[in-house]
Amino acid sequence: MTGSVRARWLAATGRQLVHPAVAVVLTWPAVAHLGSAVPRGTESASTVPLFNLWTLQWNVERVGHGWSGYWDAPTFWPGTGSFARSDPQPLTGLVAWSLSWLPGGTTTAYLLVLLGALTLNGIVAAHVARRLGASELGAVVAGVIVQASPFVANELGVIQLAMLFGGLLALDGVVGVAMDGPGRRDGVLVGGGLAVAALTNGYLALALATVLGPIVAVLLARSRAPRAIAGFAVAVIVPVLVAAPFVLGQQAATDDDGWPREVVASNSAALADLVQLDDQLVGGAVLPWAENSSGTAQRLWPGALVLGLGLLGLVEARARSTTRRAAMVLAVVAGFGALACLGLRLDIGGFAPYALLYDHVPGWDRLRSPFRLVVLVTLALGPLVGLGFDRLAGLLRGRSHGRLGTVALCIVILVGLIEVWPRERPLVEVPDVAHQDWVAFLAAADDGEPVAHVPAADPRGRVEDFEPTVVDMLASLEHGHPMLSGYTGLFPPHATVARRRLQSPVDEEVVDLLCLRGVPWVVVDDGLVADDRRLEPAFDGIARDVYRVDCEP
């Protein structure tokens, strides 16, 4: 191997190692706690990270059984289809299953899956940047900035929302159609990207399918190559068909359910949110506009580098004949995300654009939090950062600036990364439910009969109130008994009634509910149990007791 070849090989290897290294740094110290903890992101409680761990664990179990009973998770008994009420993440679960044999089981797999997703986010974003014409260094910078975007940093505790690579693959394909016309390769990228997104991040899949569908239709209408269009269409359809059973299964299980308008409106962004950073990020604590409190609780600023270099890259791409159409595609996607995240709060003279999606496009009434659609801004502008970086580098490192320009360029990138860097990276310790005494008792009572937990989550239903419930859900997968209650994205109608009644003490009203629902086991936290002949002590545990409910007269 000659010196020049070796240098190129080392440079290429270094570029490939940048993105996994950034993933580890972004989640540190999670790797040091592999198998015992998972990242929390900016979540205020451990509920959602533990719920996603439970989601992957349920996937791991069902993959081992050929996905039999996949939608009927052991929650909200005796209802069916409870797993369809949240993002099922079947592809993420399949990868977790392939890693679950490692020490630490699903907890280890969870972190490795997250690290893999963050790495792929960077790699695919860099690839799209190169396709747009960015230099190798510019592409790496674009990939890193997408990896470290505020949206991902905020949502590290919601693992599916960190899965951006499927959407980036779909964008790569559409960019290819815009630049080179339809072809099988780009069809595979579009269809495969949407399928991957559907199986990892339902929010992203629905949003991209909605905005990219019309864009692709327009691009194909401008093409005069029927055979190429046919090949492209077939290439799109095949991977989509792979995802269809999961997408249609979830749709069928929740066909009559949707979020009320007032809930969707309350989870829509305000304009002020678009310039605010979470105070757990460095910039959120020091930048004047980032501390603006005139919006909602959401903090949706995409970062100065994404916005500044991305828009500069958009101008550069628009100026080139080869990338002009691709620039328009990415501009439309970014604009759609910026408007869609405002949800039902956006009212233009009595006209609410989001209401058209909510009322007429299948699936949109089941999106609880439109503010999360702001991720499309990062998704579209992120790859353009590569072109923006190259343009800025050319301006700063011109002949008249020399090394001073290089220093200035490094300072710009460094300050931009510091702005969105997490000040803290909190972890969630995963409880060892398998070795709790009451769990072992129920596991030995191998009758598969349902169990209730008292007290249930606070009737107010705040996210933090459900943390004990999610821990009980993890325990349920160990002892094998379905739960009367549970936690999910879209709660079934009867869940609120049961939660209100399953409060301490276990009195006649609670026992009446258990008998009505046919629940023979009840786990009690604080030991407050009324004198009721239908309750029989079954196990006296260290922290929790188990009672048998005998409803026979």
Last-in-domain residue among 384, 419, 454: 419
From CA 248, how far away is CA 95, in angstroms rounded?
21
Q: Is residue 424 part of a domain?
A: no
Q: Is residue 429 part of a domain?
A: no
- CB contact at 8 A, 53 and 107: yes
Q: Is residue 426 part of a domain?
A: no
The alpha carbon of 39 is separated from its chain's Cα centroid by a whole number of angstroms, namely 13
DSSP state, residue 420: T
* Residue 47 identity (one-letter amino acid): T
Q: Answer yes or no: do 100 and 203 share one domain.
A: yes
Q: Look at phi and psi of residue 402 and say left if phi exceeds 0, alpha if psi is from -120 to 50, else beta.
A: left
Q: Answer yes or no: do 448 and 397 share one domain.
A: no
Q: 24 burial class (0-12, 13-18, 19+ CB within 10 angstroms)? A: middle
Planar angle of CA 316, 332, 88, nearest 5 degrees: 120
Residues with Cβ < 8 Å from 489, sequence gap 6 or more?
Answer: 85, 86, 87, 368
DSSP state, residue 430: P
Last-in-domain residue among 354, 385, 419: 419
- CB contact at 8 A, 156 and 147: no
Token output for 380: 């579209």
| Total residues found in the chain within this entry | 553
A 10 A CB-CB count for 543 gives 10
The residues with which 427 forms a beta bridge, in sequence order, are 39
pLDDT of residue 14: 74
Pairing between strand 451-454 and 535-540?
unpaired
Q: Answer yes or no: do 362 and 441 share one domain.
A: no
DSSP state, residue 78: T
A 10 A CB-CB count for 534 gives 16
Per the listing, tokens 């005796």 go with: 78
pLDDT of residue 288: 59
CA atoms within 13 A on the CB side of 14: 9
Q: Is residue 425 part of a domain?
A: no
- Measure Cα distances from 213 to 207, 225, 251 in Å: 10, 19, 20
Q: Answer yes or no: do 162 and 23 share one domain.
A: yes
pLDDT of residue 294: 60
Q: Is residue 82 part of a domain?
A: yes
Q: Answer yes or no: do 522 and 409 share one domain.
A: no
pLDDT of residue 1: 57
Q: Answer yes or no: do 342 and 457 share one domain.
A: no
Q: Answer yes or no: do 402 and 480 share one domain.
A: no
Q: Answer yes or no: do 207 and 83 share one domain.
A: yes
What's the chain's Rg over C-alpha atoms? 25
pLDDT of residue 160: 96
A 10 A CB-CB count for 294 gives 10
Alpha-helical (H) ranges within 100-201 are 105-131, 136-147, 150-154, 165-180, 184-200
The residues with which 506 forms a beta bridge, in sequence order, are 529
* Residue 413 identity (one-letter amino acid): I
From CA 31, how far away is CA 24, in angstroms rounded?
7
Q: Answer yes or no: do 312 and 195 share one domain.
A: yes
Q: Is residue 47 part of a domain?
A: yes
pLDDT of residue 255: 67
pLDDT of residue 504: 80
pLDDT of residue 455: 87
Q: Is residue 485 part of a domain?
A: yes
Q: Look at phi and psi of residue 343 and say left if phi exceeds 0, alpha if psi is from -120 to 50, else beta.
A: left
Q: Is residue 427 part of a domain?
A: no
Last-in-domain residue among 387, 419, 451: 419
Give the mean pLDDT per block of 10 residues along the chain (553 residues): 66 81 94 95 91 97 92 91 92 96 96 97 97 95 95 93 97 95 94 96 94 94 87 92 91 79 92 84 67 70 92 96 96 96 90 92 90 96 96 80 80 87 90 93 88 86 90 95 92 82 84 89 82 85 90 71
A 10 A CB-CB count for 550 gives 13
Q: Answer yes or no: do 145 and 278 share one domain.
A: yes
Q: Look at phi and psi of residue 439 and say left if phi exceeds 0, alpha if psi is from -120 to 50, else beta.
A: alpha
Question: What is the rounded (10 degree) CA torsion for 381, 382, 386, 389?
Answer: 80
The helix (run of H) or strand (run of E) holding residue 385 is: helix 375-396
- What range does the domain containing 111 cover? 3-419
Q: Answer yes or no: do 455 and 532 share one domain.
A: yes
pLDDT of residue 27: 94
From CA 220, how far away is CA 214, in angstroms rounded?
10
Q: Answer yes or no: do 363 and 462 share one domain.
A: no
How many structural domains comprise the chain? 2
